[in-house]
Amino acid sequence: MTAAPVDHGLPPFFKRHSPNAELTPSIIRVGLTQVLSNIYRDIQNAAALSMPEGTPMPFVVAPGEPPLQTYVRRKLEVEDDRRRSLIAGARLCADVPRELKGRLMGAVESGMRNLLQTNVLGGVAYSAARTELDRSQRLADLAGDLGWMMLSILSFSDTFQAAVDIAPDPWWEAMVTALSANARSLEMFAKSRRLPWRSILEIHVLGAVPLSEEQIGSNYEIVFTHPHEWFLPMSGPPQRCWAQNLLQRNVDTFLYDDSLFADEPMPRGWPANRPWPSNPLLIEDGAGCVFCHADRCECTVTDVTNTLVEIVEYPGAGRGVRALEAIPKNFVIGEYTGAVIPKNSVYDRIYSLSINNTECEIIALVSSLQYGNWTRYINHSCRPSTVFSTWQVGGRRAMCVETIRPVEVFEQITVDYGNEYWSARRLCQCGEECCKFDTVQKCEIAANERDEAWRPRQKARKS
């Protein structure tokens, strides 16, 4: 079992298609999803590395040893200068009328044509000036359509900067349309990770008119907590995640308290060499970590996977999880985390998953009602893209989310809730042709199949 890979390189689209190649709608569509996914990844990395030293980075792995951190900080300073240069060029370009720019470039072209015949350097200089003006014009037009805040956010992405320079006009127009469609998502994504986008705009550009708040286009500010404690509703600004009047907090592992199990009887089959109560997720003798194969290690699912997702509201389904990158089949993408509570607890009957012993007997529950991570928002589908599977990670049981088919960029991540969740009072609305629980009759058939499956186990326990 492995974790989903991360592609930090430029999309193959830029390598396979020259500016003069014929671009079909299907080629553009495939290229766009890959480019947009890389833009999200670039923004996340830039946000993490731009934080002040010593700031916890809960959504990415820290850069590493102090020498590497020093290198990263210096690299960021160079990239900041480049971003400010791009914004400054766009600002100047936006303030100069198109007619004047056209006459200016015409005069430059006329003068350079003569130089080109006798002086190669003159031609190179003209080409560079033309390229710079075209880049600035694209950026200025994008800022006019989406706002300067969005341009500043996008400037943190190397993938976006490459697209500005080399994407053909038809592809660039399609990209601007796609960015517009995902503008609300990109804004929440950047602000929930505290990307310093405003600092890039706070520069004095000689000859440029200062930007107004309306031109900047910032719609709200977010109190920095954890990115997955916010969700994007179908309209309006992001909202904090909550359930049953409780603000939900992100935790990347389980929470366990012995006192909750003080009055609970010892489960059948509990190891004789282990005291009770003690955390049922811990493993004394196991088969080894699923990631590094060691008996004892410090691995966590979050550190290894770092899957790129966001929480959004879906019509008729409420909050769900949207993939922001393509995920292959048979990959662990997350762990279902939360508080370990007794199996008979009435605290959480919605978000809890059971912890079973070797005899398939429930010994405890993991509740993500108040404490958990993004996996608690995975919606049901009768054609799911993932399953919950238990693996050993870092000396404990981990309820992992594993893909059972490829997941496309921007696809909703889903799982099958199982027969027990659905009834005549609660019908499935996944909309799939293969839906198993969308009618009362189907739910009754599923209930009968569930009862038939459990009868042999019940008889075995009584005997």
pLDDT per residue as tens digits for the range 42-95: 999 888 877 665 555 444 444 444 455 555 556 666 688 888 888 888 888 887
CA dist list (Å): 144 to 165, 197, 216, 460: 18, 17, 9, 71
In contact, 257 and 281? CB cutoff 8 Å: no
C-alpha 298/C-alpha 58 separation (Å) is: 17
Which has more confidence, 12 or 272? 272
Which has more confidence, 97 or 180? 180
What does the pLDDT look like over 15-41, one tens digit per residue?
444 444 555 565 566 678 889 999 999
CB atoms within 10 A of CB 254: 25
Position 210, amino acid: P
What does the pLDDT look like over 429-459, one tens digit per residue?
888 888 988 888 888 787 777 666 655 555 5
What pLDDT was estimated at residue 354?
Answer: 86
Position 298, amino acid: E
Half-sphere exposure of 175 (CA within 13 A, CB side): 27
Which has more confidence, 108 or 289? 289
What percent of the chain is modeled with pLDDT above 90?
A: 37
pLDDT band at 107 (very low <50, low <70, confident <90, very high): low
Buried b (16+ CB within 10 A) or exposed e, 380-395: bbbebbbebeebbbbb
- DSSP assignment of 301-348: HHHHH---EEEEEETTTEEEEEESS-B-SSEEEEE---EEE-TT--S-
* Mean pLDDT in residue range 270-297: 82
pLDDT band at 112 (very low <50, low <70, confident <90, very high): low
In contact, 375 and 336? CB cutoff 8 Å: yes
In contact, 427 and 443? CB cutoff 8 Å: yes
CB atoms within 10 A of CB 216: 18
Mean residue pLDDT of the chain comes to: 80
pLDDT band at 373 (very low <50, low <70, confident <90, very high): very high
In contact, 181 and 151? CB cutoff 8 Å: no
Q: Which two tokens stand for residue 225?
A: 């907590």
Whether the per-residue pLDDT at 204 is higher than 70: the answer is: no
C-alpha 32/C-alpha 301 separation (Å) is: 29
Residue 400 main-chain phi, psi, to 5 deg: -90, 155
What pLDDT was estimated at residue 6?
Answer: 41
In contact, 294 and 377? CB cutoff 8 Å: no
What does the pLDDT look like over 385-423, one tens digit per residue?
999 988 888 888 889 999 999 999 999 999 998 887 877
Look at residues 367, 359, 361, 413 and name the one whose alpha carbon lies nearest to residue 387: 413
Q: Which two tokens stand for residue 294?
A: 């060691």
C-alpha 265/C-alpha 182 separation (Å) is: 52
Number of continuous H segments (helices) and E segments (strands) in the chain: 13, 17
C-alpha 461/C-alpha 291 separation (Å) is: 35
What pLDDT was estimated at residue 402?
Answer: 94
pLDDT band at 9 (very low <50, low <70, confident <90, very high): very low
Whether the per-residue pLDDT at 249 is higher than 80: the answer is: yes
What pLDDT was estimated at residue 62?
Answer: 40
Question: Going by C-beta distance under 8 Å and a sequence separation of 6 or more, which residues neighbour residue 378?
Answer: 320, 321, 386, 401, 413, 414, 415
In contact, 143 and 214? CB cutoff 8 Å: no
C-alpha 427/C-alpha 199 separation (Å) is: 50
